[in-house]
């Protein structure tokens, strides 16, 4: 029995040895044949094709928008100051911070008693001066009449003397009569001179009276102005700020009591660089009245440029510009706002994403065979994530909308155009290729039943997503 068992074990070992020797011979033969056949022709590496968004350079007319930041201010502001000193006896109910008042309304009134007393005294002095002027006018009239009478009397005396002298030539009359007539004529002349002196004094008195009346009128006007200074009125309709006055308070002359602001006359002041400012000028160097939009949170206002600062302050640069706001609901002086200035229109330009530009200002053109080539464009403006360029000879050509390190000249791409998502993402399949893909999916045991059914449904359509086809072929090594 033991002999039989050992004989069978020997036969098993012999069969195993023969099988191993046969297998080794087969391996040796395959190695020799492979070496004699030479290296197998290697399959050429497939070129990678990248999907990239492309846009067309379409020349257009674009008005660039320049963005800056500024502060809202009122172009119509009035400081309320006391023109006289005294005690506040009356105050407007809206004389408060943010209170609205109308033009001509009395904001506050100072105690006017001292000013009114001075005005009354000035009025009395004016009345006295006018009475004195009237008396001087009357005295002047009497002096003129008296002078006229003296002139007549002197003329009569002179005629009487002339008659006596004529009689003396005829031998009539006496020397005593002639002397008496001469003395009378001389006295009449003296009387005329006295009346003229009185007339001059009357005229001087009238001049002094007129001057006194003028001084009294000036004094009365000043007294009335002092009375008016006790009343503070609103120069225009607006709102109050920095209010510092209470009823019963004692104020001094020129003391600041508040600020009156016109909320309807707002403007925004903002600063631009010199290069940006130069783009807002016309051919004569004058500032263009360009439209402006100011935004602060939910508050918006529109307006236009009005003027530029006359000089650059020490330590500052650029240019300070001012824009009048047409309507500024919700804005108040002091608000910090974002300002957008619409520049003059640029013609024959294109707006592209800023990511389409390279560091050197170049773009990637889509050339023949969907291969890329570099080209230069002229950069005109940058506006956020957009750029305005002058395409020149590249007008109508397609460029890559967003550059990446994987893209460069000579790279082949699969263009993805805006408005054509289906054509760019879906491809048709030949029946043989479709059948091969279906077989690969059905043979893939790693897919779940739901995923396998979804992929097979996509492969059954007329147009199949290109990404799905690439994933299946990449997993199968095809």
Token pair of 332, please?
A: 């108040």
Mean pLDDT check: name the lowest of 85-94, 107-116, 156-165. 156-165
E strand or H helix at 177 = helix 175-229
Report the alpha-carbon distance of residue 217 to residue 210 in Å, rounded: 10
Nearest to 333 by CA among 292, 294, 287: 294
> Hey, how many other C-beta atoms are within 10 angstroms of the C-beta on 115?
20
pTM above 0.85, yes or no: no
Token pair of 192, please?
A: 């005329």
Mean pLDDT check: name the lowest of 91-95, 269-273, 281-285, 296-300. 296-300
pLDDT given for residue 40 in this prediction? 44
> DSSP 3-state assignment of 179?
helix
Mean pLDDT check: name the lowest of 10-14, 82-86, 113-117, 466-470. 10-14
> DSSP 3-state assignment of 287?
strand
Report the alpha-carbon distance of residue 381 to residue 389 in Å, rounded: 7
Q: What is the DSSP string of 397-433?
A: -EEESS--TT--TT-BEEEEETT-HHHHHEEE--HHH
Q: Kindly report the CATH number that applies to the domain delimited by 53-58+346-418.
A: 2.40.420.20
> Hey, how many other C-beta atoms are within 10 angstroms of the C-beta on 402?
14
pLDDT digit string, tens, across residues 337-389: 999 999 888 898 998 888 888 888 889 898 888 888 988 888 888 888 889 99
Q: Are 404 and 373 in contact (CB under 8 A)?
A: no
pLDDT given for residue 421 in this prediction? 47
- CATH class given for the domain over 113-229: mainly alpha
Q: Is residue 356 classed exposed, middle or buried when 0-12, 13-18 and 19+ CB atoms within 10 A define those classes?
A: buried
Q: How far, in Å, are 79, 239, 310, 347, 362 from residue 244 at the CA level?
A: 12, 14, 34, 57, 63
Strands 65-74 and 266-272 turn out to be antiparallel
Where are the domains positioned within the chain? 53-58+346-418, 77-110+232-260, 113-229, 424-476
Query: Residue for token digits 């008042």?
Result: 101
Q: How many CA atoms lie within 13 A of 35 on its CB side?
A: 6
**Residue 424 scores a pLDDT above 70:** no
**Residue 291 scores a pLDDT above 90:** yes
**Residue 58 scores a pLDDT above 70:** yes
pLDDT digit string, tens, across residues 124-178: 999 999 999 999 889 888 888 888 887 888 787 777 777 777 777 776 767 777 7
Report the alpha-carbon distance of residue 379 to residue 357 in Å, rounded: 9
Q: How far, in Å, are 38, 168, 357, 379 from residue 353 at the CA level?
A: 54, 132, 8, 12
Give, to the nearest 10 degrees, the angle between helix 431-443 and helix 449-459. 180
> DSSP 3-state assignment of 370?
helix
Which range among 2-11, 169-178, 217-226, 419-428 has the greatest average pLDDT?
217-226
Report the alpha-carbon distance of residue 346 to residue 430 in Å, rounded: 50
Token pair of 19, please?
A: 């099988």
> Hey, how many other C-beta atoms are within 10 angstroms of the C-beta on 244?
13
Q: Are 412 and 47 in contact (CB under 8 A)?
A: yes
**CB burial readout 18-37, b (16+ within 10 A) else e:** eeeeeeeeeeeeeeeeeeee
Query: Residue for token digits 């699969």?
Result: 414
Q: How far, in Å, are 10, 28, 36, 417 from residue 24 at the CA level?
A: 21, 6, 18, 61
- CATH class given for the domain over 77-110+232-260: mainly beta
Q: Cα Rg for the chain, rounded, in angstroms?
A: 57
Nearest to 341 by CA among 312, 317, 306: 306
Give, to the nearest 10 degrees, the angle between helix 466-476 and helix 449-459. 120
Average pLDDT over residues 102-119: 90
């Amino acid at each position: 029995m033991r002999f039989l068992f050992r004989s069978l074990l020997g036969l098993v070992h012999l069969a195993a040895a023969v099988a191993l020797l046969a297998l080794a011979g087969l391996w040796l033969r395959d190695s020799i044949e492979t070496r004699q056949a030479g290296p197998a022709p290697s399959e050429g590496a497939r070129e990678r094709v990248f999907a990239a968004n492309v846009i067309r350079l379409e020349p257009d007319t674009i008005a660039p928008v320049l963005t800056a930041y500024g502060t809202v201010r009122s172009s119509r502001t009035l400081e309320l100051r006391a023109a006289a000193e005294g005690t506040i006896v009356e105050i407007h109910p809206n004389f408060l911070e943010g209170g609205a008042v109308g033009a001509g309304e009395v904001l506050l009134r100072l105690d006017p008693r001292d000013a009114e007393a001075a005005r009354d005294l000035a009025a009395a002095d004016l009345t006295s001066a006018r009475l004195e002027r009237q008396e001087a006018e009357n005295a002047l009239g009497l002096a003129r009449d008296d002078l006229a009478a003296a002139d007549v009397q002197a003329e009569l005396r002179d005629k009487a003397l002339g008659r006596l002298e004529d009689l003396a030539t005829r031998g009539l009359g006496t020397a005593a009569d002639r002397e008496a007539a001469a003395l009378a004529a001389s006295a009449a002349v003296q009387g005329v001179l006295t009346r003229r002196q009185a007339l001059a004094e009357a005229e001087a008195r009238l001049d002094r009276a007129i001057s006194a009346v003028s001084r009294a009128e000036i004094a009365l006007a000043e007294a009335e102005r002092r009375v008016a200074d006790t009343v503070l009125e609103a120069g225009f309709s607006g709102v109050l700020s920095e209010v510092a006055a209470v009823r019963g308070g004692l104020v001094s002359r020129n003391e600041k009591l508040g600020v009156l602001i016109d909320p309807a006359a707002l403007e925004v002041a903002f600063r631009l660089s010199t290069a940006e400012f130069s783009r807002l000028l016309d051919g004569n160097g004058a500032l263009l009245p360009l439209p402006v939009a100011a935004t602060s949170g939910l508050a918006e206002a529109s307006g236009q440029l009005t003027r530029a600062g006359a000089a650059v302050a020490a330590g500052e640069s650029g240019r300070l510009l001012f824009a009048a706001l047409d309507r500024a609901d919700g804005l108040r002086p002091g608000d910090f706002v974002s300002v957008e200035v619409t520049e003059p229109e640029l013609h024959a330009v294109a707006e592209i994403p800023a990511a389409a530009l390279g560091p050197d200002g170049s773009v990637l053109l889509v050339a023949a065979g969907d291969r890329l080539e570099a080209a230069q464009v002229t950069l005109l403006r940058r506006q956020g994530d957009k750029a305005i360029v002058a395409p020149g000879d590249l007008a109508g050509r397609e460029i890559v909308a967003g550059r990446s390190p994987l893209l460069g000249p000579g790279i082949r791409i699969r263009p993805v155009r805006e408005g054509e998502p289906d054509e760019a993402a879906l491809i048709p399949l030949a029946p043989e290729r479709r059948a091969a893909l279906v077989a690969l999916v059905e043979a893939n045991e790693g897919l779940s039943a739901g995923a396998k059914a979804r992929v097979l449904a996509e492969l059954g359509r007329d147009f199949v997503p290109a990404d799905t086809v690439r994933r299946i072929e990449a997993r199968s090594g095809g």
